[in-house]
Amino acid sequence: MRNATVSRDGGRWYISFCVEDAVAEAAPNGKRPVGADRGVAVAVATSDGGLYDRVFASPGETARLKRLQQRLSRSLCVHGRNRRSKRRDVVRARLGRLHARIRSRRADFAAQTAVRLVRDHGLVAVEDLRVRNMTVSASGTADRPGRNVRAKAGLNRAILDKGWGGLLLALEHAARYHGATVVKVNPAFTSQTCNACGHVARESRESQAVFRCVACGHEAHADVNAAKNILAAGLAVTGRGDLAAGRSVKRQPPERLAACTRLSHGNPHL
């Protein structure tokens, strides 16, 4: 055992041990690759058409969260920020337990989805997203107030609710035991590029669910179309011999490029 950490979450105490598991990474499983797009309408969409999502808080729990947060805010106004009260402590404890329950569901969803992806595929391509930077508040300052603050706050909540960062950690952890590789690719234009013809246009993304290419008319689920572009980018990265988000200057052989292109379109003979 290397170290132990004691923590408290939702009124419960936990102890976690950091140990060397002495387990070598599994040999490559040789299974087909897949691209995974993390979204806000659907948590995960894959290039083979799979859609994975879960509601982490029921409507009743969402309403309860709102009521408890309002009660906590009122208690702060009455008692002041530096004064403690039993009523305020009770509200905070209830909020903590409810948030802990939601976090547990989110972690469970991430773990199950990650295992499903790495167990059935030899390579999982995902976007190299900077989630912390993407969820920075747009409120700005008193001198330079932000724009579209309410809409940005709603987007931030949706991103954090879907657990994008937790899913990536779960994928990288599970891949060691199932012989899979996780490849992070440049996310630029993956949602605006037509997987059929390669045309890039912002107007093609009609909504969170619909992609209709303005050039060739190809229509698909928007997140699935993005996942196919992510897969193609991941195969291009591995074809150059590096597994990083940055693109290598090396060019892959024409035969390998053609094979990657056919594989990204689901050729069952490869």
Which of 25, 37, 203, 219 is catalytic? The answer is: 37
CA dist., res. 181 & res. 35, Å (int): 12
The catalytically annotated residue of 9, 48, 223, 255 is: 223
Q: Is-catalytic flag, 120?
A: no
For the chain, the maximum distance between any two Cα atoms, rounded to a whole number of angstroms, is 72
Tally the C-alpha atoms within 13 A of residue 189's C-alpha that lie toward its C-beta.
9
**The one catalytic residue among 9, 61, 89, 127:** 127
CA distances from 146 to 143, 151, 238 (A): 10, 11, 40
Active site residue 9: no
What tokens appear for 45 in the block? Answer: 């969409």
Active site residue 37: yes
Sheet with strand 51-52: strands edge to edge: 51-52, 44-46, 33-38, 123-127, 181-185
CB of 248 closer than 8 Å to CB of 238: no
Report d(CA 33, CA 233) in Å as an integer: 12
Distance CA 153, CA 135 (A): 8
How far is CA 62 from each of CA 41, 53, 95, 98, 219, rounded to the nearest angstrom? 17, 17, 11, 10, 35
Sorted by sequence, the CB contacts under 8 Å of residue 70 that are 6+ apart come out as none
Active site amino acids = 37, 127, 223
